[in-house]
């Protein structure tokens, strides 16, 4: 268990638990909701394999493709104003995230990893951590590798990482938040809750991680007024525990015991 992950988790508890009580989208949902402790394990222990995977991906990319990028490009990029670098990182990273995320929905083998995240039946800030390490490494790699290759400064990347993490928790949180017309520009909890909806009209929609206008550009946005989904989850027979979920994508379909599916709850 990474002690930094534990500190970040405690800070998130202090911020998001009161917010979810004060501005609850579903007031009847308990803090210790279904699969709470399973998702807590993800929050505590998933950081190490994901960090190692991302370090390997960035190291491999910079040692190969990175050698082909002229030095003057990274010098020009890193010399830009700090605020401009952060904005550019958000745009570049979210385009990469959108493409990778959409691929995880389109390719059956990749979907088996991503289905773990979509097996969530009750959304809150903690549920954001339920992501298979392979899914997270490949998706975040698609976001961050271009950023590192282009030579953005470390402080700008660090601030982006902090913003991305906090925004990701908010998107999954059990909160009712109206951001008005900004919802067509910035991803909101309503936007991402529809991505998790177990409703036919919302399937394969709202892929962006931070910038909802990317989905608008590609025709994959789904925001029906002020409505929110009635239920979340998938029909895949996802097992209930952390270890089983890590193994799930690698087990042939015929060998998975048919249990009540997450979408039947």
pLDDT digits (tens, 9 = 90+) for 26-52: 999 999 999 999 999 999 999 999 999
Residue 205 has φ and ψ, to the nearest 5°, of -130, 160
pLDDT tens per residue, range 105-151: 999 999 999 999 999 999 999 999 999 999 999 999 999 999 999 99
> Residue 260: is its pLDDT beyond 50?
no
| pLDDT value at residue 5 | 74
pLDDT tens per residue, range 179-219: 999 999 999 999 999 999 999 999 999 999 999 999 999 99
| pLDDT value at residue 259 | 42
| pLDDT value at residue 38 | 97
Residue holding tokens 């995230």?
A: 97
| pLDDT value at residue 42 | 96
3-state helix, strand, coil in the chain (%, to 5): 65, 0, 35
Residue 25: band (very low, low, confident or very high) from pLDDT cuts 50, 70, 90 = very high
- Helices marked H in 107-132: 108-118
Q: Whose CA is closest to 119, among 218, 64, 4, 39?
A: 39
> For residue 172, how many other CB atoms are within 10 A of its CB?
23
Residue ranges of E strands in the chain? none
More confident residue, 257 or 187: 187
188 contact partners, CB below 8 Å, separation of at least 6: 171, 177, 179, 182, 212
> Residue 265: is its pLDDT beyond 90?
no
Q: Whose CA is closest to 93, among 81, 103, 85?
A: 85
Q: Which residues pair with 175 in a beta bridge?
A: 24
Q: How much is the pTM? A: 0.92
Q: Does the CA dihedral 73-74-75-77 come out positive or negative?
A: positive
- Helices marked H in 119-265: 133-150, 154-172, 189-195, 213-218, 242-247
pLDDT tens per residue, range 68-108: 999 999 999 999 999 999 999 999 999 999 999 999 999 99
Averaged confidence pLDDT in the chain: 93
> Residue 264: is its pLDDT beyond 50?
no
């Amino acid at each position: 268990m990474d002690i930094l992950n534990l500190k970040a988790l405690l800070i998130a508890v202090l911020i998001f638990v009161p917010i979810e009580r004060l501005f609850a989208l579903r007031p009847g949902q308990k803090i210790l909701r279904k699969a709470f402790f399973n998702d807590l394990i993800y929050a505590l222990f998933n950081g190490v394999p994901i960090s190692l995977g991302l370090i390997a991906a960035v190291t491999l990319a910079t040692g190969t493709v990175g050698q082909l990028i002229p030095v003057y490009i990274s010098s020009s990029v890193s010399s830009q104003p700090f605020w401009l670098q952060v904005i550019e990182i958000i745009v570049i990273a979210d385009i990469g995230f959108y493409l990778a995320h959409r691929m995880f929905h389109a390719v059956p083998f990749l979907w088996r990893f991503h289905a773990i995240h979509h097996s969530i039946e009750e959304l809150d800030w903690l549920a954001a951590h339920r992501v298979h390490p392979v899914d997270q490494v490949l998706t975040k790699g698609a976001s961050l590798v271009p950023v590192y290759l282009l030579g953005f400064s470390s402080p700008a990347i660090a601030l982006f990482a902090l913003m991305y993490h906090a925004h990701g928790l908010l998107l999954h949180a059990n909160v009712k938040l109206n951001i008005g017309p900004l919802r067509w520009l910035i991803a909101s909890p309503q936007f991402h809750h529809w991505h998790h909806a177990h409703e036919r009209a919302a399937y394969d929609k709202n892929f962006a991680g931070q910038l909802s206008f990317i989905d608008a550009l590609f025709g994959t946005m789904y925001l029906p007024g002020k409505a929110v989904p009635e239920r979340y989850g998938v029909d895949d027979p996802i097992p209930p525990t952390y270890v089983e979920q890590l193994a799930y994508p690698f087990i042939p379909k015929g060998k998975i015991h048919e249990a009540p599916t997450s979408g039947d709850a």
